[in-house]
Amino acid sequence: MKANQIHTGTFVNQKEVIAVELTNTKGTFVKLFNYGTIINQFVVKNAQGEWQDIVLGFDDIEGYLSEEYLANYPYFGSVIGRYANRIKNGEFTVDGISYQLAQNAGSDCLHGGTEGLDKKVWDIIELHHGINPSVTFQYFSLDGEEGFPGDLAIQLKFTLTENDELILAYQADTDEATPVNLTHHSYFNLSKNGEGIQSHYHQMNASQWLAQDDNYVVTGELLPVAGSLHDFRTGKRIAEGWDSENGYDQSYLLDKNYNDLTLASRTHADDSGLVLAVYTTEPVAHFYTAKYLDVKNGKGGKSYGSFDAFCVETQHAPNSINIPSFPTTVLQPEELYQQTTIYKVEVKK
């Protein structure tokens, strides 16, 4: 029932980074930064009645700005855009005009380019106190930013409910046809002691997954999960039968009606009893078990490595701007982009 702003005294591109704290009547607590709309803390009560932070990150904003962190940058807890995941060769065509983006992941464009929405200081345009506290951030991405056409006005509202749901409600509009595919990139660990996520139990409502090339770019081919290590429909331990060297870094086509708000995944840890359920209006969830994670001096001085967290990134299919058979990600000037994702925390009975 609280929504507080805290000045950090840290400036990025002459704009101050502000922390926003949301607290419900149970004491569940979320801390966000207006830099990249980072989810810095998500503190919930586990089955033993202990308070537990379920997201990876740093103790303060300086950690997210350090050269060491940015050199092997995992996008801790940040918004991703204008376009989530990879675009093949950083190229696309809209209305007969070809555009070239930064090639910041080999020959491909990753997560919106060199300086995407994750590295911008957003404006705080509304704070709501009382039951279900919320904050709304806004950013104007100008025509040509990172190579994308059109001025894009984006709002992202975070609401913390009495049911321990963190609701992310996105909307955007443009003055020119442009591809838009937004997501959020929190790294979750539900274990009491922050141990690896191999023993977490994960269930994903997806009968198909999206084939990728050697650089993790979606090709357009849909593959059945049945009979493969990608079958999470009835749930299993993350490490059960997996490729122990690579883990998971794949996109899954959710079993749902387009645009309906439905359950994408449920993940729980035995030792804490915590369950994270992810609901979304988006058609795809990208499941990543953090193979490439290598961060020093995280929260409390802890280092984070491979398989210390998992991500469920709700979005449209990566590279779908180049795959005509997939639902369009082109936003037209007369349209309003909208999507909702919910992180709901429960205690397993």
Domain-by-domain residue ranges, the chain?
Answer: 2-347
111 part of the active site:
no
Instruction: Encode pLDDT of 212-238 as tens digits.
Output: 999 999 999 999 999 999 999 999 999
Q: How confident is the model at residue 1 (pLDDT cuts 50, 70, 90)?
A: confident
Q: Is the whole-model pTM more than 0.85?
A: yes
Mean pLDDT of 156-177: 98
Rounded (5°) CA angle 165-170-171: 150
- Domain spanning 2-347, CATH class: mainly beta
230 part of the active site:
no
Catalytic residue among 145, 146, 165, 313: 313
Q: Which amino acid is at 186?
A: S
* Cis status, amide bond into 82, omega within 30 of 0: yes
Q: What is the dihedral of CA 259, 260, 263, 264, to 10 degrees?
A: -20
Tokens found for residue 2: 């609280």
> What does the pLDDT read at residue 37?
98
Catalytic residue among 111, 185, 200, 230: 185
349 has a pLDDT exceeding 90: no
Instruction: Encode pLDDT of 2-36 as tens digits.
Output: 899 999 999 999 999 999 999 999 999 999 999 99
